[in-house]
Structure 1
Amino acid sequence: MALTPDYDSDPERFRLAGRVTRKYLIGARSLHDHIASKLLDAGVSRVLDIGCGEGALSAALPALAPLGLAGVDASATLLRAHPGPRVQADAGRLPFRDEAFDAAVAVNMLYHLDDPRPALREARRVLAPGGLLLASAICRNDSPELAPVWRPEPTTFDAEEAPDLVCEVFGEVEVERWDAPLITLPDRAAVRDYLIARHVPRAEAAEAAGHVRAPLPVTKRGCLVLARR
């Protein structure tokens, strides 16, 4: 099932997710920083950030912002904080001409869609020949240390099937997977915030955190799918 977005009704949950990652990430750069590095290595100059939120990719990629990076998101609330060119639109109906971009990025957003394929087809349409797609997804068994109190619900774009879905549209993919303890939650308040950031209702998150021993290293599992038009 699609993960229902709450960015307009509860933007603070989205912001909390970013703060938790930045504060407790250990020994690794953020996913946005990793993607920014790949874009720079690819030498692209026109990038579309699909599901751009408040501009995390723009912050990680100042060399292209604001002129070379455009953002698109369905949330008017989040877009108000985005620093660069941005437009409110549906990922399945991108308001851009064919072959307008050298790269398209979708960071942990395709699971919000009932069917990610139309958005993938749109991403391919707006890419120039040879253009690069980077789409990330989270595993169904992410954060296994929290399994006694919480498990992520399956979505329409989990890391388990994301490569096949992208391959249906692009024909060939490269997959980078991660499976390592990347975050350490130092206390129960951090565990609570981590759970809230993952759509657990606040009262339930607080109760669940009370059953967890901290500090708690958390294993992050997911993948980054890369494809060329």
Structure 2
Amino acid sequence: MSVLRPDYDSDPDRWRSWESPQDVHHLVAPELRGPVLDVACGEGRLASLLGPGVRWVGVDNSPAQLADNPHRPVTRADMRRLPFASDSFAEVTHLWCLYHLDDPASAIREAHRVLRPGGRYYACCAARDNDPEIVPEGHEPSTFDAEDAVSIVESVFDDVTARHWDQKFFPLSTREEVRAYCRHNYIPSERADRASLPLWLTKRGVLVRAIKH
């Protein structure tokens, strides 16, 4: 297993290069009532989708992403050492982030700590065989992939469910869009030049939900 080292501050053009028209945030946001702690909040996509009156707090360790985030309050912090009291939040989210850690369970334990009893936890990640049309050999295993995400969350939470996806959600319509997608996802750029258009990629991954008892 390898760690996907974050480059949000050293190479901000990579993560700014492309944004998915559909994402897990659209599934999670309608379920949240707050207060919600959005760990690795990035540019605030989850916050932008919340209903009126839902209290949101963002945490990220990247100054560049926090600077791009228009939502407040935000705190710069390590997800393994959250600067919040125990039992503080009704929901905690780890969306697209745990593969940046050598030990994802350390951050999940922190999420469990700051959740109230009965609070809900969310985490998501892609599968290693995601994007088979452009990465036929599969992605390199990381420390938090869909193949083992549920068992990792179950090492901390007792009540865990998973929603897997495996389908084509949207097309990449232009060559430039495919190049941007490759840049965003660490895929060799020359593959964009060989792709047929429009490119419908098969997206595979998992959304893990858990409850603190």
**Aligned pair in 2 of structure 1 residues 33, 152: CA closer, same or farther (>3 Å)?**
same
2:46 is aligned, of 43, 49, 57, to 57
Q: How does 1:1-229 map to 2 (within 5 A)?
A: 1-18=2-19, 21-22=20-21, 29-39=22-32, 44-64=33-53, 68-82=55-69, 83-148=71-136, 151-200=138-187, 204-205=188-189, 207-229=190-212
Q: Match of 1:145, SS?
A: coil
Q: Match of 1:59, SS?
A: helix
Contact 1:183 1:219 in 2 (8 A): no
Deviation string for 1:27-78 (max 9, x for gaps)? xx53212110122xxxx3200000000111111115246xx10000110111
TM-score (norm 1): 0.87
Aligned residues: 210
Q: How far apart are 1:222 and its partner, in Å?
A: 0.4
Q: Match of 1:184, SS?
A: strand
Gaps of 5+ in 2: none
Contact 1:110 1:116 in 2 (8 A): yes
Q: Which moved more, 1:181-190 or 1:81-90?
A: 181-190
Mapped to 2, the partners of 1:186 and 1:176 lie a distance apart of 28
Percent of pairs with identical residues: 41
Mapped to 2, the partners of 1:221 and 1:227 lie a distance apart of 20
Mapped to 1, the partners of 2:126 and 2:159 lie a distance apart of 20
Q: How far apart are 1:151 and its partner, in Å?
A: 3.6
Structure 1 ranges of 4+ moved more than 3 A: none
TM-score (norm 2): 0.94
Contact 2:124 2:207 in 1 (8 A): yes
CA-based RMSD of the aligned residues comes to: 1.4
Gaps of 5+ in 1: 23-28
Deviation string for 1:69-105 (max 9, x for gaps)? 0000110111112221110110000000000000001
- Structure with the higher helix share, 1 or 2: 1
